[in-house]
Amino acid sequence: MKQKTLYVTAGLVGLILVGAMISLTHGAFQIPAGRVLEILLYKCGLGAGGKPGPVEVAIVIDGRLPRVLTAILVGFALALAGTVMQGIFRNPMAGPGVVGISSGAALGAVVAIYLGLVTVFPAALPLFAIIGALLTLVTVFTIATSGGRTSVATLLLAGIALNLILGAVTSFVITLSTREFDVARVIVTWLMGDLNNRTWMHVGIAAATLAVAVLLVAAYIRELNILMLGEESAASLGVEIGRSRNLLLLAAALATGGAIAVSGSIGFVGLVAPHMVRAVVGPDNRRLFPVAGLLGALFLVYADIFVRLVITVDLKIGILTSLLGGPFFIYQIIRYRKRFEYM
């Protein structure tokens, strides 16, 4: 299994690098791969040739590279969040979008945009998104917990209900923003999920929140594996269930909030990636979460290539991921429907 994991990891990294190079070389202004490598080496202080042209440097370093890196970081973050939530709730249908964290983060970001805080304080967008994700997570978890025990079925139902409520509130904010066309356009475009015009600031936000989330998950990866056995088994093995679960869910909320803050609403990556990887590398989260993160990154890199270079209409990346992830979610419901209890 370890050897298979190594092969899968190497393959995913290779495909991500290929996709990144395609994104860096192709566009309205074509730049050969060799030239792109020269520019990257030059910016790293390793260039042996002459100084690249300023136009090519601006296109690669300030235009395309931040977009590629944002796609990688967002995909990894969403897959990480999905892996954590599926492990904690022992349910392959758990994910940031299903439980409502994504909707909470989206509402927080939309409020920040509507109030104009982003123009004054750029960090307001990720801050409000993370707060929205955390508040939603606490609300869902409170609804689903009774007597110290959390019902997974109730949690999923509460997540669906909160998705509807938060979606309605978000629509209300959009309605209020229609008086200012530019604000409404930004909000609607952002809600569709978009990687256009990403900058190094976006890369920094996504990288910082993901780094904290990864550190938390890595610190509690053993506890996550044990929690998959059930709360009673975890308690008998000496796991502090409340502390471990809350910190892991905090990591999921941070990863989701940071990702949505820089890319808008992108659904189903956190649901699909962990499930697909689990079938290959097994349920051990020490292998699952990094490989699932790479698959999520791969998925967004190539989804971005498709919407930017292949299709001619202005299709947003969030729409594409929903079109691909929705049928997969329905398949999951049909596959696992025998596990549900009907009254």
**pLDDT tens digits, 219-241:** 999 988 888 887 777 778 777 87
Give DSSP secondary structure letters for 40-75.
HHHHTT---S-PPPHHHHIIIIIIIHHHHHHHHHHH
Across the range 270-282, mean pLDDT stands at: 84
Half-sphere exposure at residue 248, Cβ-oriented, CA atoms within 13 angstroms: 29
Q: Is it the case that residue 216 has pLDDT exceeding 90?
A: yes
CATH of the domain at 295: 1.10.3470.10
Of the chain, the percentage scoring pLDDT greater than 70 comes to: 92
**Of 323, 303, 325, 307, which Cα lies nearest the Cα of 315?**
307
How confident is the model at residue 6, as a pLDDT? 87
Residue 206 lies in a domain: yes
Q: So what's the pLDDT on residue 76?
A: 96
pLDDT of amino acid 343: 36
Q: What is the mean pLDDT of the chain?
A: 83
The residue behind tokens 């008086």 is: 179
pLDDT at 144 over 90: no
* pLDDT tier for residue 33 given thresholds of 50, 70 and 90: confident
Banded model confidence at residue 184, pLDDT cuts 50, 70, 90: confident
Q: Quote the CA–CA distance of 91 and 227 in Å, as a whole number.
A: 12
| Residue 62: inside a domain | yes
Give the whole-angstrom CA distance, residue 209 versus residue 187: 22
Q: Higher model confidence: residue 100 or residue 302?
A: 302
pLDDT at 179 over 80: no
> Would residue 110 count as lying in a domain?
yes
149 within some domain? yes
Range of the domain at 311: 2-337
At 219 the pLDDT is: 92
Residue 338 scores a pLDDT above 60: no
Inform me whether the pLDDT recorded for 181 exceeds 50: yes
Picking from 330, 336, 149, the residue whose alpha carbon sits closest to that of residue 241 is: 149
- Residue 201 pLDDT greater than 50, yes or no: yes
pLDDT for 332 equals 67
Residue 22, in any domain of the structure: yes
Residue 182 CB-density burial (10 A; 0-12 exposed, 13-18 middle, 19+ buried) = exposed
In the predicted model, is pLDDT for residue 294 greater than 80? yes
Range name among 13-17, 119-123, 197-201, 292-296 with the lowest pLDDT average? 119-123
Q: Which residues are within 8 A (CB) of 54 and not within 5 positions of it... i.e. 6 or more apart?
A: none
Which pLDDT score, from 0 to 100, does residue 79 have?
93
Q: Round to whole Å and give the CA distance between 303 and 263.
A: 13
Q: What value does the mean pLDDT take over residues 18-33?
A: 88
Residue 342 placed within a domain: no
- Whether the pTM exceeds 0.95: the reply is no
- What's the burial of 231, exposed, middle or buried (CB within 10 Å: 0-12/13-18/19+)? middle
pLDDT at 124 (0 to 100): 84
Mean pLDDT of 163-177: 87
Site of tokens 């409520």: 165
The b-or-e profile of 16-43 (16+ CB within 10 A means b, else e) is beebbebbbbeeeeebeeebbebbbebe
* Whether the Cβ atoms of residue 224 and residue 84 lie closer than 8 Å to each other: yes
For the chain, how many structural domains are there in total? 1
343 inside domain: no
Residue 98 has pLDDT above 80, yes or no: no
| Band of pLDDT at residue 46, cut at 50, 70 and 90 | confident
- The answer to whether residue 62 scores a pLDDT higher than 90 is no
Smallest CA-to-CA distance from 64 within 282, 236, 329, 301 is with 301
Q: Once rounded to an integer, what is the mean pLDDT over residues 297-316?
A: 85
CB-based contact 138:74 (threshold 8 Å): no
